[in-house]
Amino acid sequence: MTQGNASTGTTLLVVDDEPELRSLLSEYFGRHGFTVRTAHDAAAARAAIAEALPDMALLDINMPGENGLSLARWLRDAHPRVGLVMLTTAGESVDRVVGLELGADDYIPKPFEMRELLARIRAVLRRLKLSQPMPAAQALASRRVPFGACQLDLDERRLFGGEGTEIEISAAEFDLLALFARNPNRPLNRDQIMEQAHNRGWDVFDRSIDLRVMRLRRKIETNPDKPEVLKTVRNVGYVFVPTGPAAA
């Protein structure tokens, strides 16, 4: 493991088995104010995370031994508030779909342009910053939208279950729920959802929308196989059917 320059306090963990790429990314992001730590495989990454939790992880999918998808699954389950961007080989659509299904905030294919990668990571970090809990005094006045037995807190950017326990969601999942909350009983097609998603800075394609809706249904629906809150509208897209007064 190595560490780059520190100035902003934002920590980036780069996990890739290519030493040249690790060195290049460490130097580049260090120049842009990140504290960069690197790991050459999943085992080294787990050790680095146990030592100090990063703000963001940049994971290569194809690594010897435990691959990036397995590491991403563990990281999302164990530390859901850590930003997660996957590196994929160009054309590996199956891997990138699986990565999104696991809860990755974004992906970028290799070879990539360094400025684009920096912009994507900054976009994810902005969403994560917005997702941080608000002070208690502000939380008292927060707006909540019922999603079945769950409630989406629009101000705190958090999802709560029927018993009041928090349900972990990614920044992109919150953005999607918030879009539905702003459009109750209005069918949204995939083009409308993708337009809003691009405005929020996360990369999407048709299949990724379906995957995110599927993940959200598992969290908010009583029976995800027969959804009553996020319903499918044939040949259109999806519609949010509120079970109570929806906030705008």
Domains belonging to the chain, first-starting first, are 11-130 (3.40.50.2300), 136-240 (1.10.10.10)
Alpha carbons within 13 angstroms on the beta-carbon side of residue 207 total 9
Q: Alpha-carbon distance 156 to 142, whole Å? A: 7
Other Cβ atoms less than 10 A from the Cβ of 121: the count is 23
Using one digit for the tens of pLDDT, what is the confidence trace for 19-66?
A: 999 999 999 999 999 999 999 999 999 999 999 999 999 999 888 889
Q: Alpha-carbon distance 219 to 149, whole Å? A: 10
For the record, the structure tokens of 169 come out as 């969601």
pLDDT, tens digit only, all 248 positions of the chain: 555 443 457 899 999 999 999 999 999 999 999 999 999 999 999 999 999 999 999 999 888 889 888 898 888 888 888 899 988 875 556 566 666 667 788 888 888 999 999 998 998 888 777 545 444 433 334 578 899 889 999 888 889 998 888 998 888 888 889 989 988 888 988 878 877 665 555 555 556 788 889 989 999 999 999 999 999 998 888 999 986 443 33
Alpha carbons within 13 angstroms on the beta-carbon side of residue 16 total 23
3-state secondary structure the chain: CCECCCCCCCEEEEECCCHHHHHHHHHHHHHCCCEEEEECCHHHHHHHHHHCCCCEEEEECCCCCCCHHHHHHHHHHHCCCCEEEEEEECCCHHHHHHHHHCCCCEEEEECCCHHHHHHHHHHHHHHHHHCCCCCHHHHCCCCEEEECCEEEECCCCEEECCCCCEECCCHHHHHHHHHHHHCCCCCEEHHHHHHHHHHHCCCCCHHHHHHHHHHHHHHHCCCCCCCCCEEEECCCEEEECCCCCCCC
Give the C-alpha distances (Å, rounded to integers) separating 114 from 61, 149, 189: 18, 43, 33
